[in-house]
Amino acid sequence: MVVKVYGSVDASPQRVLACLVEKEIDFEIIPIDLFKGEHKDPEFLKLQPFGQVPVIQDGDYTLYESRAIMRYYAEKFKSQGTELLGKTIEERGLVEQWLEVEAQRFHPPVYKLVVHILLASALGFPSDPKIIQESEAKLGKVLDIYEERLSKSKYLAGDFFSLADLSHLPFNQHLVADLGKEHMIRDRKHVSAWWDDIGNRPSWKKVLQLGVFELPK
């Protein structure tokens, strides 16, 4: 069965796509143009009442929230493709810990950088230099902790690639490719090596080939 993935080929939907590729699961992308407001369409809101992407439909099963979707497929197809949850309960605990760190510590400041550097004009409001400065400072402190962690293990949860690393791919990509903030990765030796590793995985390269982020013209 082919999984339907509703969303744009950017940001949170890319987490899901990378996971599906790693797990060798066939999928079909159903484009949802956020700039045209398609995520607020009544039919889409029947799938996702909060009007956000991604959403998946797997037969008669519907699920939203990108990290929940990743966990679902990593568990459902645990023996297929790349093992993304760890092999022991202790490894699973560390995967979950760093997934929470990504969601609660890394994502909020990097998301604000994307909004105020990349999207503000397209969304019709002025970029706020103070928010950019504060967000970069907060993100820098988070990456300093990553640097310490990655000095002791190849990946965040240990010496194995997991959902914890995969979940960082979309916004790490924005940092180095779109925001002019590549130094935040490159100035940290172990974070830089980690990005060179995960950013060159075949799964991520395949996701990037599906489409690139473009602002509305």
> Which CATH number fits the domain that encloses residue 154?
1.20.1050.10
Strand order in the sheet with 61-64: 27-31, 3-7, 55-58, 61-64
Amino acid identity for residue 82 in this structure: T
Looking at residue 59, which CATH number applies to its domain?
A: 3.40.30.10
- Split into its structural domains, the chain has a count of 2
Tokens representing residue 181 in the block: 């903030």
One domain, residues 126 and 54: no
Residue 141 near residue 153 (C-beta atoms within 8 A): no
Q: Which domain holds residue 95?
A: 89-201
Sign of the Cα torsion 25, 73, 82, 144 reads positive
- 7 CB burial (10 A radius; 0-12, 13-18, 19+): buried
One domain, residues 26 and 68: yes
Angstrom distances, CA of residue 21 to CA of 60, 127, 177, 204, 210 = 21, 35, 22, 8, 12
Q: Is residue 145 part of a domain?
A: yes
One domain, residues 139 and 102: yes
One domain, residues 163 and 64: no
Query: pLDDT tens track of the chain, all 217 residues?
Result: 799 999 988 899 999 999 999 999 999 999 999 888 899 999 999 999 999 999 999 999 999 999 999 999 999 999 999 999 999 999 999 999 999 999 999 999 999 999 999 888 777 788 899 999 999 999 999 999 999 999 999 999 999 999 999 999 999 999 999 999 999 999 999 999 999 999 999 999 999 999 766 655 5
User: Across the strands, what pairs with 7?
Assistant: 31
One domain, residues 56 and 109: no
One domain, residues 124 and 167: yes
> pTM for the full model?
0.95
Q: Where are the alpha helices (DSSP H) in the chain?
A: 12-22, 42-47, 66-76, 89-101, 107-113, 120-123, 129-150, 163-166, 169-177, 183-186, 189-198, 202-209
One domain, residues 106 and 74: no
Q: Is residue 214 part of a domain?
A: no
